[in-house]
């Protein structure tokens, strides 16, 4: 059914009672957006070939992000180790990772500020986490 929604081929007149219940629940949970008679998925669906392409892209991205992460870690470590009191030297890595972890919300803030993503208006639950998307 979700595939049919994604492809705009769902025949609403021929749904079983069970499919209608699933559809109703998915709309209530904001997995599917209903605008008049139009249904839109609020999450991506990838076909096998598309997923293979996405995975190749993500592998390249991951490799580049890992390089950036390693460089960021080394830069932070060199600065922090200079001023870290002797008795806290063993905590240096924890401190560095805490600083790097702060980049996660900053990444969302950056994307929101530049309108790359938008924050959902409601607090409706999503599959396992909030997915922010730009229409």
For residues 35 and 53, state if they share a domain: no
Residue 52 is assigned to a structural domain of this protein: yes
Residue 74 is assigned to a structural domain of this protein: yes
For residues 34 and 59, state if they share a domain: no
Number of folded domains that form the chain: 2
For residues 53 and 76, state if they share a domain: yes
Spatial distance between the Cα atoms of 88 and 80, rounded to a whole number of angstroms: 11
For 28, the token pair is 């209530």
For 26, the token pair is 């998915």
pTM over 0.85? The answer is no
For residues 36 and 71, state if they share a domain: no
For residues 28 and 55, state if they share a domain: no
For residues 35 and 52, state if they share a domain: no
Residue 117 is assigned to a structural domain of this protein: no
Spatial distance between the Cα atoms of 127 and 1, rounded to a whole number of angstroms: 17
Beta bridge partners of 32: 41
Taking only the tens of pLDDT, the chain with its 135 residues reads 888 888 888 898 899 999 999 999 999 988 899 998 889 988 888 778 888 888 888 889 889 989 988 998 899 888 888 888 888 888 888 888 888 887 777 887 888 888 887 776 766 554 444 444 443
Residue 60 is assigned to a structural domain of this protein: yes
Beta bridge partners of 33: 40
For residues 60 and 37, state if they share a domain: no
Residue 119 is assigned to a structural domain of this protein: no
Domain that holds residue 85: 48-101
């Amino acid at each position: 059914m979700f595939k049919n929604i994604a492809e705009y081929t769902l025949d609403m007149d021929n749904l079983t009672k069970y499919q209608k219940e699933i559809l109703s629940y998915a709309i209530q949970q904001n997995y599917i957006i209903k605008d008049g008679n139009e249904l839109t998925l609020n999450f991506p669906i990838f076909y096998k070939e598309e997923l293979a392409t996405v995975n190749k892209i993500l592998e390249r991205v991951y490799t580049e992000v890992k390089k950036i992460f390693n460089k960021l870690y080394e830069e932070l470590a060199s600065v922090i180790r200079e001023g870290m009191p002797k008795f806290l030297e063993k905590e240096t890595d924890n401190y560095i990772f805490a600083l790097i972890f702060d980049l996660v919300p900053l990444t969302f803030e950056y994307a929101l500020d530049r309108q790359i993503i938008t924050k959902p208006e409601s607090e409706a639950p999503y599959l396992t986490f909030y997915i922010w998307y730009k229409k």
